[in-house]
Amino acid sequence: MIKLLLTFTLVVTLDCQAQKVDSLALTPPMGWNTFNTFAGNFNEKLIREMADLLVSSGMKDAGYAYVIVDDNWTGPRDSLGFLTVDANRFPSGLKDLSEYIHSRGLKLGLYSDAGYKTCGGYTASRGHEFQDALVFARLGADYLKYDWCNTEGINAPGAYATMRDALRAAKRPMVFSMCEWGNNKPWLWGAGIGHLWRTTGDITACWNCIDDHGGKYNSYGVMQILEKQEGLRAYAGPGHWNDPDMLEVGNGTLTVNESRAHFTLWCMLAAPLIAGNDLRTMSKATLEILTNKEAIAIDQDSLGIQGFRQTQPDSLEIWYKPLQGGDWAVCFFNRGSKAATIRHDWRKDVIRDDVTMSELNCVRRTYVLRDLWKKKRIDTTANTLVSTIAPHDVLMLRLEK
């Protein structure tokens, strides 16, 4: 009897520890992060400005909730081993900034790493996971991005589960973003540990380049990252998302068309939408892309189904995403370098989603076509769709029942 009781207690205890705090990311998280534009060049003043701009630009209203302070914010440990905040960047301390962010109706994201040092060489959490989680909680963090630099010889599921348990023990619900670049196939083991996991190395702000950083590591353009999402859609869903990395909309060499296509494809992928541009200088076009609520509604659809691609000849791809209530999102994507004219007969093929067993059948039902970038109804699926798409651009539609 005692043995039975002990086993029961042990199972219950382990089971409690094995849960991440759920229901925090039932749709893909949205926010803004320091890294893509600023890397280590930020301080409390800049982050306050970004928080203000998220509100005044309308981005907060569109759903961008987390202000994420990426690498380079930690100071040395104090005499008791607690993490301190880099006093040069945060002369008033991070708690003040956190309160300010919360007072603006936003949430705070912080960053650490499973090694002793972050990628930027700053203090990280190895061996101090439970202590650090307490510090994140005291600072009022609502989100933790946990990186994978300097982790040679560490077991990835174990390291991420340790921080998950530490966050749980700190008793402040935080979205847990696992940033191990897909090295250990986190889609196979991450759902019970984190709310999102990076599927690739870092994105960089170009359409189709690979940046080799002097042979040390690679970062990848938008098309390179897109290709690496193949085969992963079955692993994503409410509370556990594939993360193809943050947005480069409005950054680097991306044209407006390319930024729009990048954003649209991330919405079709049900990807986290974490902007990474300088909000002080963004163009009207960039803001319009980032705040297109109809496109965002595709990303944030409550079914949480990651879209899929049917490759077509001549660089034209068609992407499909089943939506709540029987609607579908459909994206025609021109990968080519010349404008492409599509003639699409909706009634010719029945589209089957083998993962969710849903079906788009335009013979059985006629849908209204809503163009999500023009923001108007354009036709129905009873007629052949004829449209010309600029190079590296998209036609993004919602098929309404």
User: Cα-flanking dihedrals φ and ψ of residue 77, to 5°?
Assistant: -80, 150
Catalytic-residue membership of 371: no
Q: What is the DSSP string of 90-113?
A: -TT-HHHHHHHHHHTT-EEEEEEE
Containing 207, the helix (H) or strand (E) segment is none
The 8-class DSSP code of residue 240 comes to B
Q: Is 147 marked active-site?
A: yes
**CB closer to ligand GLA out of 119 and 295:** 119
Given the residues 70, 71, 132, 147, the one annotated as active site: 147
Nearer Cβ to ligand GLA (123/334) = 123
Say how many residues touch ligand GLA, by CB under 6 A.
Answer: 8
Q: What are 74's two structure tokens? A: 């930690």
Which tokens hold the place of 101? 């962010």
Return the residue of 63, 120, 182, 221 that touches ligand GLA, per CB under 6 A.
120
Rule CB under 6 A: say whether 202 interacts with ligand GLA: yes
Of 142, 165, 202, 243, which residue is the catalytic one? Answer: 202
Residue 35 as a binder of ligand GLA (CB under 6 A): the answer is yes
The contact pattern for ligand GLA, residues 143-172, with x = CB under 6 A and - = no contact, is ----x-------------------------
Quickly tell me which residue has 């007629």 as its tokens: 383
Provide the mask over 76-115, with x wherever binding to ligand GLA is found by CB under 6 A and - wherever it is not.
----------------------------------------
Closer residue to ligand GLA, CB minimum distance, 218 or 366: 218
Cα four-point dihedral sign 268, 157, 135, 16? positive
CB of 246 to ligand GLA, least distance (A): 7
Q: Is 393 in the site for ligand GLA (CB under 6 A)?
A: no
Compute the least distance from the CB of residue 222 to ligand GLA, in Å.
15
In the complex, least distance from residue 240 CB atom to ligand GLA, rounded to whole angstroms: 19
Give the one residue of 59, 85, 179, 287 binding ligand GLA; rule: CB under 6 A. 179
Shortest reach from residue 248's CB to ligand GLA, in Å? 12
As measured in angstroms, the least distance from the Cβ of 70 to ligand GLA is 5
Nearest distance in Å: CB 216, ligand GLA: 11
Q: Which is nearer to ligand GLA, 68 or 323 (by Cβ)?
A: 68
Q: Are 145 and 113 in contact (CB under 8 A)?
A: no
Cβ atoms 30, 292 nearer than 8 A: no
For ligand GLA, the binding residue among 54, 97, 114, 119 (CB under 6 A) is 119
Closest to 355 (Cα-Cα) out of 228, 192, 235 = 235
Backbone CA torsion sign across 87, 38, 216, 157: positive
Q: Does 132 bind ligand GLA (CB under 6 A)?
A: no
Residues 59 to 78 in contact with ligand GLA, rule: CB under 6 A: 70-71
Q: Is 243 in the site for ligand GLA (CB under 6 A)?
A: no
Asked if residues 149 and 98 have their Cβ atoms less than 8 Å apart, the reply is no
Distance of CA 335 to the CA centre of its chain: 22
Q: If you search the block for the tokens 């960039």, which residue do you land on?
A: 286
Least CB distance to ligand GLA at residue 266 (A): 15
Print the binding letters for residues 259-298 with ligand GLA: x by CB under 6 A, - otherwise. Answer: ----------------------------------------
Which runs of E-coded beta strand occur in 255-299?
273-275
- Report d(CA 127, CA 112) in Å as an integer: 13
Sign of dihedral through CA atoms 129, 130, 133, 134? negative
Q: Where are the alpha helices (DSSP H) in 39-171?
A: 44-56, 59-62, 94-103, 129-138, 156-170
- Binding of residue 319 to ligand GLA (CB under 6 A): no
Residue 380 burial (C-beta neighbours within 10 Å; 0-12, 13-18, 19+) = middle
Calpha distance 291→32 (Å, rounded)? 13
248 is a contact residue toward ligand GLA (CB under 6 A): no
Closest to 33 (Cα-Cα) out of 243, 208, 209, 199: 243
CB atoms within 10 A of CB 337: 8
Q: How far is the CB of 394 from ligand GLA (least distance, A)?
A: 25
Query: Quick one: 71 or 165, whose CB is closer to ligand GLA?
Result: 71
Positions touching ligand GLA (CB under 6 A) are 35, 70-71, 119-120, 147, 179, 202
Q: Catalytic amino acids?
A: 147, 202
